């Protein structure tokens, strides 16, 4: 007797019989980059979207042709399998993300447990209050004063390659040095900068790396890594509790390269902060620190890795940056537009019933505003799937929470937009551009070490970035 799978029957009912023409196993085949798998067509020829796509390896690796289908044919797509709605056009994402009335609450996720009750999952006045607690330390003159320290940290990390004894990080042969840019630089650089801004003691540096790595690996549900992330956050909170006690009594100041004080560190400033007459609790201070660890660490790490991977595959553009270092800003933002390092979708819940593009979205629905897709919208960016740091339609000026569009240039969505604009965006921009400038000056004739990098499905071309940022990038450069 033929067996019947209840789940298969339920799935067929949920997604509709029009998807029955897909692969029998439900797997979405891996396609050449830029090409979408055939998931069937409606009677009028419109390509269909099988919602099993969103859980597939193909979607993680090669999402952009599917984003094009969504933007062109389903600007609001109801994914009945995963019980959510996808919004993918640039203008729609920007409008929705800036609307705190209709999209007023934030879906709770793994970050709520690993990082604590951070501003990522708060709305309205409480979100603004948390954001403003430390925002002053991450913008404007505060950043300019810290430029020498950031450059010093970058040079110190590169200097360490001369004495590195770990071949998984760095090794020399025949006048050529090979470096794992992640382990050797990008993984450590933003964390050391954030530690400096916070005012963590030097002896806490090793623990800080552990807290950061464990918490970032802890996003993903009830798994062993999630448990380690929770344990790391508790360890961080225990450490900060004692540090806060000391800093309340003895404020700590940051200094410039000449030893002159340039202001209090962020922890001391948070200790001094009063809201409605009361000092911040240790939990509030810790949650802000945890958010800075994520925003100032993981986002910057991914941005550096993605940008360098793209630039090294476009040597003429790398040469342009080498000739004019002011182009690092354009390279940073174009890299973010093409490949988001973290948070590719902004999750929100609807406050009441709404209708968009003819699709009715009930109150309380989970809506994913897909920044990845918005960044590749050819209604806004010409030749949107191409990496081009010289494009004239991408805005790379002053970072604005509400986003920027003037009919000629638009900002990307990689830092999000609206009330939940990434609080670490300003320091990430500074870290990535300053650090990359130092890297390029220090690495002569730098290129990808092709034999150390993974290949795509053809076994020849380099693997794409897709939805997940680069975890490692092996480069080589001349040292003779």
Q: Which long-range contacts (CB under 8 A, 24 or more apart) does 17-23 make?
A: 18/42, 18/48, 19/48, 19/50, 19/51, 19/52, 22/50, 22/52
Q: Are 30 and 457 in contact (CB under 8 A)?
A: yes
**pLDDT recorded at residue 13:** 45
Check: CB of residue 310 under 8 Å from CB of residue 388.
Answer: no
Instruction: Return contacts of 210-214, CB within 8 angstroms, 24+ apart.
Output: 210/235, 211/235, 211/236, 211/293, 212/293, 212/297, 212/298
pLDDT in tens, the chain (480 residues): 333 444 344 444 444 433 334 444 357 999 999 999 999 999 999 999 999 999 999 999 999 999 999 999 999 999 999 999 999 999 999 999 889 889 876 655 545 566 665 555 555 555 555 555 555 555 556 666 778 889 999 999 999 999 988 999 999 999 999 999 999 999 999 988 888 888 888 778 778 778 777 877 776 555 778 788 888 888 887 888 888 888 888 888 888 777 888 778 888 888 887 777 777 777 778 777 777 766 667 788 999 999 999 999 999 999 999 999 999 999 999 999 999 987 678 888 999 999 999 999 999 999 999 999 999 999 999 999 999 999 999 999 988 888 889 989 999 999 888 877 877 788 889 999 999 999 999 999 999 999 999 999 999 999 999 998 899 999 999 997
How much helix, strand and coil, in percent to the nearest 5, is found in the chain? 50, 15, 40
Amino acid 388: pLDDT: 98
The pLDDT, as a whole number, for residue 66 is: 98
Q: Which long-range contacts (CB under 8 A, 24 or more apart) does 260-264 make?
A: 262/145, 262/146, 263/142, 263/145, 264/199
Residue 439: count of CB within 10 angstroms of its CB: 23
Q: Round to whole Å and give the CA distance between 65 and 372.
A: 12
By the 10 Å C-beta count (0-12 exposed, 13-18 middle, 19+ buried), 155 is classed as middle
| CA dist., res. 204 & res. 100, Å (int) | 39
**Average model confidence (pLDDT) for the chain?**
84
pLDDT per residue as tens digits for the range 404-424: 899 899 999 998 888 778 777
Q: Which residues of 441-455 are buried (b: 16+ CB within 10 A; e: fewer)?
A: eebeebebbeeeeee
Angle between helices 189-198 and 299-312 (to 10 degrees): 150
Q: Could you give the count of Cα atoms lying within 13 Å of 452 in the half-sphere of its Cβ?
A: 17
Phi/psi at 303 (nearest 5 deg)?
Answer: -65, -45
- Token pair listed for 23: 């692969």
- Set out the domains of the chain in order of their start, with CATH numbers: 1-97+345-375 (3.30.43.20), 98-344+376-478 (1.10.630.10)
pLDDT at position 64, please? 97
pLDDT for residue 20: 37
- 3-state DSSP assignment of residue 466: coil
Helix pair 189-198, 425-442: axis angle to 10 deg: 130
Nearest-CA neighbor of 288 among 124, 121, 114, 117?
117
């Amino acid at each position: 007797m033929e067996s019947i799978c209840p789940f298969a029957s339920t799935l067929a009912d949920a997604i509709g019989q029009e998807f029955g023409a897909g692969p029998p196993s439900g797997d979405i085949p891996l396609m050449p980059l830029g090409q979408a798998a055939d998931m069937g067509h409606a009677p009028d020829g419109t390509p269909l979207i099988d919602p099993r796509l969103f859980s597939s390896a193909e979607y993680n690796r090669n999402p952009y042709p599917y984003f094009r289908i969504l933007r062109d044919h389903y600007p609001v797509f109801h994914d009945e399998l995963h019980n959510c709605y996808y919004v993918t056009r640039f203008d729609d994402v920007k409008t929705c993300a800036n609307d705190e009335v209709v999209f007023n609450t934030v879906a709770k996720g793994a970050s709520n447990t690993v990082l604590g009750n951070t501003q990522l999952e708060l709305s309205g006045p409480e979100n603004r209050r948390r954001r403003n607690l430390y925002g002053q330390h991450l913008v404007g003159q505060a950043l300019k004063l810290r430029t020498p320290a950031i450059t010093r940290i970058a040079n110190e990390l590169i200097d360490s390659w001369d004495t590195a004894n770990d071949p998984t990080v760095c090794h020399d042969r025949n006048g050529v040095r090979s470096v794992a840019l992640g382990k050797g630089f990008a993984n450590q650089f933003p964390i050391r900068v954030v530690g400096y801004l916070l005012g963590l003691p030097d002896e806490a540096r090793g623990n800080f790396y552990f807290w950061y790595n464990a918490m970032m690996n802890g996003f993903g549900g009830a798994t062993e890594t999630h448990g380690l992330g929770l344990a790391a956050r508790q360890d961080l909170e225990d450490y900060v509790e004692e540090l806060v006690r000391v800093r309340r009594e003895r404020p700590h100041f940051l200094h410039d390269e000449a030893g002159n004080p340039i202001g209090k560190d962020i922890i001391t400033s948070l200790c001094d902060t009063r809201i409605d007459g009361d000092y911040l609790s240790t939990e509030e201070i810790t949650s802000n620190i945890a958010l800075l660890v994520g925003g100032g660490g993981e986002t910057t790490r991914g941005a550096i890795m993605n940008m360098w991977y793209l630039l090294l595959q476009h040597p003429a553009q790398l040469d342009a940056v080498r000739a004019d270092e002011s182009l690092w800003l354009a390279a940073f933002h174009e890299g973010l537009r093409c490949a988001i390092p973290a948070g590719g979708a902004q999750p929100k819940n609807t406050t009441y019933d709404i209708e968009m593009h003819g699709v009715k979205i009930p109150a309380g629905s989970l809506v994913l505003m897909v920044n990845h897709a918005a960044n590749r919208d050819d209604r806004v960016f010409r030749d949107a799937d191409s990496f081009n740091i010289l494009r004239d339609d991408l805005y790379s000026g002053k970072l604005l929470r509400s986003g920027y569009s003037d009919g000629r240039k638009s900002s990307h969505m990689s830092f999000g937009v609206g009330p939940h604009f990434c609080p670490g965006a300003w320091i990430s921009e500074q870290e990535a551009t300053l650090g990359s400038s130092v890297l390029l000056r220090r690495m002569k004739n730098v290129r990808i070490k092709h034999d150390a990098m993974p290949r795509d499905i053809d076994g020849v071309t380099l693997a794409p970035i897709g939805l997940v940022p680069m975890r490692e990038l092996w480069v080589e450069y001349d040292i003779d």
